[in-house]
Amino acid sequence: MSLFDDLLKRRQREEEGKSENRLPAGQSLTNKFPVLTYGPNPKFDPATWDLRVFGEVEKEMSWSWAEFIALPTATITCDIHCVTRWSKFDTAWEGVLFRDFIKLFGMKDTTKFVIAHCDYGYTTNLPVEAMMEDDVMLTYKYDGKLLEPDHGAPVRTLVPKRYFWKSAKFLRALEFSAVDKPGFWERNGYHNDGDPWKEERYGRRWGF
């Protein structure tokens, strides 16, 4: 297939996506998987890696890599949308559904926000209602294979109904909080909620 034919096919799929209400305003469809990461990829050592939960939970817990991948998993296929204006349809993921994960330790009713803590101190925040959507998961497989470092290995959150920066790469902890705690990009001009269907790209400090 020529580059022109590929572009024509992609443009046709974009128009179909708009008519099917799958492509948010301001987005362009890509068949690739662009890599956008602030900072270097952390090194992953299965022998020392762990994932923990803390804050407004009934029981603070942590899991080793072996313990985490032994948890029951689910697979989902979803569309993803990046704030930098690309969207990718029908991406396939496997991991632990968030709504199932919280049953392991108990989330207190006082929880209003969930803060993802990642390697190198990166964080991002979401209201608990967004995390409780049926398609939110802690994922470690993409397209049937373990995540690549460029895409957040070994574990990232997946929150398809928000711009993709809210799906935090290199996840190391989840904090359950009674108060909001804006993360790295939220403090540096991005919108606090990041709903692509509302085009919530940037916050007030950028004048939008």
Mean pLDDT across the chain: 92
Would you place residue 16 in the very low, low, confident or very high pLDDT band (cuts 50, 70, 90)? confident
- Which has more confidence, 1 or 79? 79
Segment 11-33 shows an average pLDDT of 83
Q: How many CA atoms lie within 13 A of 79 on its CB side?
A: 20
Strand partners, 157: 138
Query: Between the CA of residue 26 and those of 12, 20, 23, what are the distances in Å?
Result: 16, 15, 9
Q: What is the pLDDT of residues 38-49, one digit of tens each?
A: 778 999 999 999
Residue 119 scores a pLDDT above 70: yes
59 in Cβ contact with 102 (< 8 Å): no
Q: Is domain 45-206 given the CATH code 3.40.50.920 in the classification?
A: no
- Which has more confidence, 179 or 9? 179
Residue 103 scores a pLDDT above 90: yes
Q: What percent of the chain has pLDDT over 90?
A: 82
pLDDT the model gives residue 40: 87
Please report where in the chains the tokens 């008519």 appear, as a residue.
19
Domain positions in the chain: 45-206
Q: What is the pLDDT of residues 163-187, one digit of tens each?
A: 999 999 999 999 999 999 999 999 9
Residue 145 scores a pLDDT above 80: yes
Q: Helix H segments across the chain? A: 3-19, 65-69, 98-101, 128-131, 184-187
Burial class (CB in 10 A: 0-12, 13-18, 19+), 173: middle
Segment 144-170 shows an average pLDDT of 97
Segment 191-206 shows an average pLDDT of 86
SS3 category, 123: strand
pLDDT the model gives residue 9: 73
Segment 148-156 shows an average pLDDT of 96
